[in-house]
Amino acid sequence: MKVTYGKAISDALKEEMRRDSKMVIYGEDVAQFGNIFGLTRGMLEEFGPKRVRNTPITETAIVGSAIGAAETGLRPVIELMYSDFTMVAFSEIFHCVAKWRYMNGPEFKLPLVIRNASGSSNGAGCEHSNTVESLFMHAPGLTIVTPSCAYDAKGLLKSAIRSDNPVMFCEPKLLYQSKQEIPDEVYNSDYTIPLGLADVKREGRDVTIVAVGLMVPRALEAAEKLAAEGIEAEVVDPRTIAPLDKDTIYTSIRKTHRAVVVEEGNRTGGIGAELAASFQEELYDELDGPVIRVAALDVPLPYNITMEHYAIPDVESICKAVRAAF
Q: Which domains does the chain have, with CATH numbers?
A: 2-187 (3.40.50.970), 199-324 (3.40.50.920)
CB-count exposure of residue 192 (10 Å: 0-12, 13-18, 19+): middle
Q: Which helix (H) or strand (E) holds 223?
A: helix 215-227
DSSP secondary structure code for residue 73 in this structure: T
Average pLDDT, the chain: 96
Q: How far is CA 277 from CA 50, 237, 241, in A?
A: 47, 18, 15
pLDDT band at 261 (very low <50, low <70, confident <90, very high): very high
Report the C-alpha gap between 319 and 6 in whole angstroms.
28
Report the C-alpha gap between 143 and 162 in whole angstroms.
13
- Please tell me whether the peptide bond between 238 and the residue prior to it is cis, using omega within 30 degrees of 0: no
Residue percentage of the chain with pLDDT more than 90: 93
| Per-residue pLDDT reduced to its tens digit, 19-78 | 999 999 999 999 998 888 999 999 999 999 999 999 999 999 999 999 999 999 999 999
Which residues are registered as beta bridge partners of 115? Answer: 79, 169
Residues 6+ apart with CB under 8 A from 90: none
| Phi, psi (rounded to 5 degrees) for 280 | -65, -40
Q: Roughly what angle, to the nearest 10 degrees, separates helices 5-19 and 150-162?
A: 30
pLDDT band at 244 (very low <50, low <70, confident <90, very high): very high
Residues with a catalytic annotation lie at 59, 128
Q: Which helix (H) or strand (E) holds 200?
A: strand 199-202
pLDDT of residue 269: 95
Report the C-alpha gap between 292 and 325 in whole angstroms.
7
Provide the residue type at 89 as one letter.
A
pLDDT of residue 157: 98
DSSP codes joined into one string, 81-149: EEGGGGGTTHHIIIIIITTHHHHH-TT-----EEEEEES--SS--TTS----HHHHTTSTT-EEE---S
| Per-residue pLDDT reduced to its tens digit, 281-321 | 999 999 999 999 999 999 999 999 999 999 999 999 999 99
pLDDT of residue 106: 78
pLDDT of residue 36: 84
Task: Tell me the average pLDDT across 88-97.
Answer: 95
Residue percentage of the chain with pLDDT more than 70: 100
| Per-residue pLDDT reduced to its tens digit, 120-131 | 988 888 988 899
* Rounded (5°) CA angle 240-241-243: 80
pLDDT of residue 104: 87
For residue 137, give the nearest of 268, 63, 241, 272 by alpha carbon.
241
pLDDT of residue 118: 95
Task: Tell me the average pLDDT across 208-230.
Answer: 98
pLDDT band at 146 (very low <50, low <70, confident <90, very high): very high
Task: Tell me the average pLDDT across 157-178.
Answer: 97
Neighbours of 161 (CB within 10 A): 24
